[in-house]
Chain A
Amino acid sequence: MTTPSITVSPDPQLQYLLRLADTCLIHAQRLAEWCGHAPILEEDIALTNLSLDLIGQSRALYSHAATVEQRLTGVVRDEDAYAFLREERDYRNPTLVELPMRRSISGPAEDFAGTVLRNLLVATLLKQVWEALSAPGGTADAELAAIAAKSLKEARYHQQHSADWVVRLGDGTEESARRLRDALQRQWPYVTELFESDATDAAAATAGLGPRMADLRAAWEAEIHQVFAAAGLTTPKATTFRSTGRQGVHSEHMGFLLAEMQSLQRAYPGGVW
């Protein structure tokens, strides 16, 4: 017996919330791959703590999305329905966060350098998002503002922790610097997508729900370049490659991730701890 998938309303405001929630959840799911495997115990605890914060943030956003969707369509759902019962095409996270992290059956994975780098790129992005949403007048949605204000405190810790590591590795040994440079070459092409504007973004900005991602790029780059300078990293040249996870068109890795993440809820409908 399996649980059928849900189909979510295409309303742009709901999609805007789900993009944020999916970014947190899928990034958290990848980070959790390090549980029990990090190079040192302290980092094992750190990476799983980051993952836990992100899952908590996604839960708050999914619960809020449920309220919004109920108001739009009358359909009643809970956070688990969004997290576990959607089809791949209905997840709206950028491709960067779904790429294999520690190990993968679907392709080459990142090493620890690639992990701390991705954490820096994503934590800095989320910090910008939460800052914009929790600023006075940042959103017309009071619950979203409240979630953002809480998440911002956590994102600051995440960014600080990953920035420390990027500098430590970039300014460390030849081997650590090489691994970090290689990771940047792999990941940088996926950055373009983070800040692409589209109809969902435009609708959110028009409705006063939140910022266009494109409007956050300058502040994001300023903080990233600070860290890169201290780490001896050079920003790679832009490429023509475009990832499309935010449109629901994912990499070949996403299906494997979802199969693992959803299997329990699909096999045991409504199962809870």
Chain B
Amino acid sequence: MSLGLSSEPDRAALAWAALATVMDPEVPVVSLVELGIAREARLADGGVVEIVLTPTYSGCPATELIEQQARAAVEAAVAGPVRVLTQRAPAWTTDWISAEGRRKLREYGIAPPGPAEVHGGGESVIRFMPRAASVTCPRCDSPDTERLSAFGSTACKALYRCRACSEPFEHFKPI
């Protein structure tokens, strides 16, 4: 590029850096990059900066807002046209949440997800959630917790209670 604009690879890097500053609207301490929602920032034909996002849950009401905020952040950070692409495959998994993202979730009071289950077929349909779940309380670190509800304030979270400190807390469901 000419006219003093930043060089081509830099624009992709700048876009990626901008995405790392966009927080999830419902968990405003972790970024789209840390959650694994932002998959890629790249340069396409015609100098278009393409950013690739993947949805978390099909019905997540924050999906459109996330797109808008990602676009606004990247447009403010790089010169020239920006395109937002939605990519469904491979399907988002909580395994993509970074270590830093997990630390921030815990600090925010949300127990981070364990590894997503591997489904090999042949498993039982009836799998009652164990009462004493292996989820650690994000406040007092006690493993003595119980699940109150499989569904929480958002699609991605379940509601738990710590039996040690008696505080309720949310758990990011592994998916």
| Chain A residues within 8 Å of B, Cβ to Cβ | 41-42, 45-46, 49, 51-57, 59-60, 124, 142-143, 145-147, 149-151, 153-154, 156-157, 159-161, 163-164, 167, 223, 226-227, 230
A143 B59 Cβ-Cβ under 8 A: no
**Please, which residues of chain B bring their CB within 8 A of the CB of A42?**
148-151, 159
A52 B124 Cβ-Cβ under 8 A: no
* With known contacts A142-B89, A146-B88, A146-B89, A154–B58 Cβ distance under 8 A: yes
A226 B151 Cβ-Cβ under 8 A: no
| A143–B153 CA distance with the chains assembled, in angstroms | 30
Q: How far apart are B79's CB and chain A's nearest CB, in angstroms? A: 31
**Please, which residues of chain A bring their CB within 8 A of the CB of B124?**
226
B55 (CB) vs chain A CBs: closest residue: A150
* With known contacts A42-B159, A52-B155, A146-B88, A161–B150 Cβ distance under 8 A: yes
* With known contacts A150-B55, A153-B175, A52–B61 Cβ distance under 8 A: yes
Task: Assign chain B's interface to a size class.
Answer: 20 to 34
* B131 interface residue (CB < 8 Å to A): no
* B60 interface residue (CB < 8 Å to A): yes
A226 B91 Cβ-Cβ under 8 A: no
Q: How far apart are B51's CB and chain A's nearest CB, in angstroms? A: 18
| A149–B127 CA distance with the chains assembled, in angstroms | 21
| A151–B57 CA distance with the chains assembled, in angstroms | 8
Q: How far apart are B31's CB and chain A's nearest CB, in angstroms? A: 22
| A67–B18 CA distance with the chains assembled, in angstroms | 31
| A142–B155 CA distance with the chains assembled, in angstroms | 26
**Please, which residues of chain A bring their CB within 8 A of the CB of B129?**
164
* With known contacts A42-B151, A143-B88, A147-B88, A154–B125 Cβ distance under 8 A: no
B125 A124 Cβ-Cβ under 8 A: yes
B148 (CB) vs chain A CBs: closest residue: A42
| A154–B155 CA distance with the chains assembled, in angstroms | 10
Q: Mark B113-137, 1 if CB is under 8 A from A, else 0.
A: 0000001000011111100000000
A42 (CB) vs chain B CBs: closest residue: B149
A168 (CB) vs chain B CBs: closest residue: B128
